[in-house]
Amino acid sequence: MPEPLTAAFVAARLSALKQATLAAHRAIELRSPLARLIQPEVTLQDYGLALQRLHLHFSRHEEAVMRALQDHVPPPQLAQRRTLAALKADLTDLGLTAPEATCATPPPSPASAAGWLYVHEGTSLGGMVLLRHLRQALGAGLGTATRHYARHGRGTAARWQETRRMIAGLLPDDAALAQALAGAMAAFAAMDAVMTDPKEEPRPAATPSPGPKSAGRCPFAGGQTGMAARS
C-alpha cells in the first residue's frame, strides 16, 4: 500500500534524491559554464553561454518530461514549471540564438519523469540570489535577460516546497523511488553532456543554431499539456 504523503515521507523521498545525485550535481556546478556565473569576474559572454546550453538541454527534454507527467499532474502545475520560453526570451534580449535539439523520448514512467523534474527545477533554485550577483557584476548589460532565474520571484521557496510534494506523490513505493533515482541520474548525465561540451560557444542570433534544426524539435509549450542547493 502506498505511504501517506506526510511531511516525513516527502522529506525522505527528496533526501534520497538529493543524496543519490549529490556528486553529479557538484560536478556540473564545478565543471560547466554555470561555475562562472558565481565568480566576481563573470562576463555577459559567460552568462549567455550558460543560458544557451541550458536552452539546448531543455529544448530536447522539457516537453518529453511534461508528456510523461501530463496524466498525473494538473496542467496548470506543469505549465508553471516550464522554462524553455523564459530561456529563449533571455537569449533574445542578449542578441543570441536559442539552440535547439530534436525531442527526446519521454521518460519510461511518471516516477522516472519525477526524477527528471527534480533536476530541471533545481536549475533556477537560488536564482534571485544569483541575479543580485549578476546585476552587481554585469550592470546594465544584463538588461531584462533574467526570466529563467527570476521566473518564480519571491515565490521560489514556496514553489519548491510544492514541487517536493508533487515529486514525492509520484513515488509511492520503493520501486517508484528507484525509477526516480535513475531518472534524476539520467537527467544530470544529459545536462552534463551539454553543459561541458568544449565545442560550444555563444552564438549571435544571426548565426545558425547548433544541433538539428527545428523540423525535429518538440512541440512547444503550453498548448500540448496544458512545464542551487536542494533541501
Instruction: Quick: pLDDT tens for 54-97.
Output: 999 999 999 999 999 999 999 999 999 999 999 999 999 999 99
- Contact between 28 and 188 under an 8 Å Cβ cutoff? The reply is yes
So where are the chain's domains?
7-98+107-196
What pLDDT score was predicted for residue 201?
Answer: 60
CATH code that applies to domain 7-98+107-196: 1.20.910.10
C-alpha pair distances (Å), 20 with each of 61, 158, 181, 221:
21, 24, 7, 30
Q: How confident is the model at residue 213 (pLDDT cuts 50, 70, 90)?
A: very low
Residues 6+ apart with CB under 8 A from 202: 45, 48, 49, 52, 96
Q: 126-174 pLDDT, tens per residue?
A: 888 899 999 999 999 999 999 999 988 888 889 999 999 999 999 999 9
List the one residue out of 198, 223, 7 whose CA is nearest residue 15: 7
CB atoms inside a 10 Å sphere around CB 44: 19
The pTM (predicted TM-score) of the whole model is 0.85
**In which band, very low, low, confident or very high, does the pLDDT at 231 lie, cut at 50, 70 and 90?**
low
pLDDT higher than threshold 50 for residue 214: no
| pLDDT above 60 for 1 | no
